[in-house]
Amino acid sequence: MREVIFDTETTGLDPQGGDRLVEIGCIEMVNRVETGRTFHCYFNPERAMAAAAEAIHGLGDAFLADKPLFASRASELLEFLGDSPLVAHNAGFDFGFLNMELGKCGLEPLGRDRMIDTVALARVRHPGAKNSLDALCTRYGIDRSHRTKHGALLDAELLCQVYVELTGGRQIGLELAAESVDVTAGSVTSVVVTRTYREPRPHAADKAELAAHEEFLETISAPLWRSKA
């Protein structure tokens, strides 16, 4: 199964309030294995970068000034995404910005039924725990020492590893895996524990075993169970 794991960086938090997409990083996975195919692009947002946003991802006005507009790369991005399920961390945020940009280009929005949100997956698997990307990397022992600031492609690479762990680890699909997550595009249905049924083993001692046990007990001198209270 082909899936695309992606992340975005933006000028702020509100696509309806004028914030824009400035970076997207996408990674192709087939059967939860990275194929090496990626799509990565920076965009000129045609507006000033908020200081709070720049502090997070480090993308300033000077760097973005000569980057292409989203519209000039939209068709290439859509070709890479294809009709595959789209995996993101807090996916509603990323879908909101992507669909806003597509709308500005007169293009159809991405269907929310294609959305797989790893935050929702993490809440099922680790209820009550911190489920930020950093927290999940720490929980699963994923090295993020090179992540000094947020970056769309870098975060997508980390999310690929997190997603594999959230959906059963590298044993996914094997009978050795004790637990796996049932993922349907756009929702998390449940955590499914699969076990192979085994017939109960006989557990009652036979006559020979009982006799051997009695014989062994006779070899014990002054056993406590024969002492008088």
Q: Active-site residues: which are they? A: 150
Euclidean distance between CA atoms 165 and 136, whole angstroms: 9
Euclidean distance between CA atoms 115 and 124, whole angstroms: 16
Which single residue is written with the structure tokens 């940009």?
101
User: Alpha helices, DSSP H only, in the chain?
Assistant: 51-57, 61-64, 70-81, 91-104, 118-125, 133-139, 152-166, 207-217
34 DSSP β-pair partners: 29
Euclidean distance between CA atoms 13 and 2, whole angstroms: 29
